[in-house]
Amino acid sequence: MNNIINKIKNQLEESIDINTKEMSQRFFKEKIDFYGVKVPVVNKISKDSFKEIQAFDKAEIFKLIEILWQSGKLEESFIACNWTYSLRKSFQPQDFELFKNWIDLYINNWASCDTFCNHSVGEFIQMYPDFLMELKKFTESKNRWVRRASAVSLIIPARKGLYLDTIFEIADNLLLDKDDLVQKGYGWMLKAASKLHQQEVFDYVMKRNATMPRTSLRYAIEKMPDNLKIIAMDNKHNS
């Protein structure tokens, strides 16, 4: 198994793009450990390498994924996310605990958080909606990435019009969170929900307008018609 990981590391090293390496840190406030490889190249390495392991048992692949997470390298985390999503048809309820641990132990930036949670965790929740209760518990974590995960895991379900009550409950739990990346996360979740539930989301933000951080509000109403945006922002200015 080490041969597989070493091969990936070598391919990433050989694919370093100087411009990407110089530019990547600008997208993050926190210090990020990365090779400097363009995302399409990372995705190709991920896809090609998965073909070599797809016949392995899921447990073996999960062990490889954990090794990728442990590296701390941004690009290896993306491969970990892609491989996990490739296994989505074989997700089982007991996998949730592992996913939760990966978020808590290894995720240290918004890109890894969103890539993993939008797709793999979001897919898992749609397969096993009973775990919405567990997702709500994420909002109580001291780890900012776990709290962001509680919201961004529901982006794709929200776009489908699913789980609106839970979305509002998670937004309530995160409403006064001081972390701007958590604020943006639940604002994004509300924006996604507004695609099919525009009036409900508008009513939600108007009721909480005085206390909702401006960052979250702007995200939540971003896709709404201009007249609703004006009402929401004017009300915010006057509150």
Q: How high is the pLDDT of residue 230? A: 93
Q: How high is the pLDDT of residue 156? A: 98
Q: For residue 236, is pLDDT > 90? A: no
100 and 44 inside one domain = no
Q: Are 128 and 90 in contact (CB under 8 A)?
A: no
Angle in degrees, CA 166, 169, 170, rounded to 5: 90
Q: How high is the pLDDT of residue 237? A: 64
Q: For residue 37, is pLDDT > 70? A: yes
Q: Are 152 and 188 in contact (CB under 8 A)?
A: yes
Q: Dump pLDDT digits (tens) for 170-221.
A: 999 999 999 999 999 999 999 999 999 999 999 999 999 999 999 999 999 9
User: What are the structure tokens assigned to 64, written together?
Assistant: 């490889």
160 and 98 inside one domain = yes
Q: Helix, strand, coil: what percent of the chain each, to 5?
A: 75, 0, 25
225 and 142 inside one domain = yes
60 and 156 inside one domain = no
Q: How high is the pLDDT of residue 160? A: 98
Pairwise CA distance, residues 148 & 174, whole Å: 9
Angle in degrees, 0-180, between the axes of helices 58-70 and 95-106, rounded to the nearest 10: 10
119 and 12 inside one domain = no
Last residue of a domain, one of 64, 90, 116: 90
113 and 199 inside one domain = yes
84 and 36 inside one domain = yes
The domain of 126 spans: 92-239
Structurally, the chain folds into a number of domains equal to 2
Q: Dump pLDDT digits (tens) for 110-168.
A: 999 999 999 999 999 999 999 999 999 999 999 999 999 999 999 999 999 999 999 99
101 and 205 inside one domain = yes
CATH code for position 133: 1.25.10.90
Q: Dump pLDDT digits (tens) for 56-93.
A: 999 999 999 999 999 999 999 999 999 999 999 999 99
Last residue of a domain, one of 69, 90, 111: 90
Q: Are 27 and 111 in contact (CB under 8 A)?
A: yes
32 and 115 inside one domain = no
120 and 224 inside one domain = yes
Q: How confident is the model at residue 10 (pLDDT cuts 50, 70, 90)?
A: very high
Last residue of a domain, one of 36, 63, 90: 90
Q: How confident is the model at residue 238 (pLDDT cuts 50, 70, 90)?
A: low
Q: How high is the pLDDT of residue 235? A: 77
187 and 97 inside one domain = yes
78 and 110 inside one domain = no
Q: How high is the pLDDT of residue 234? A: 83
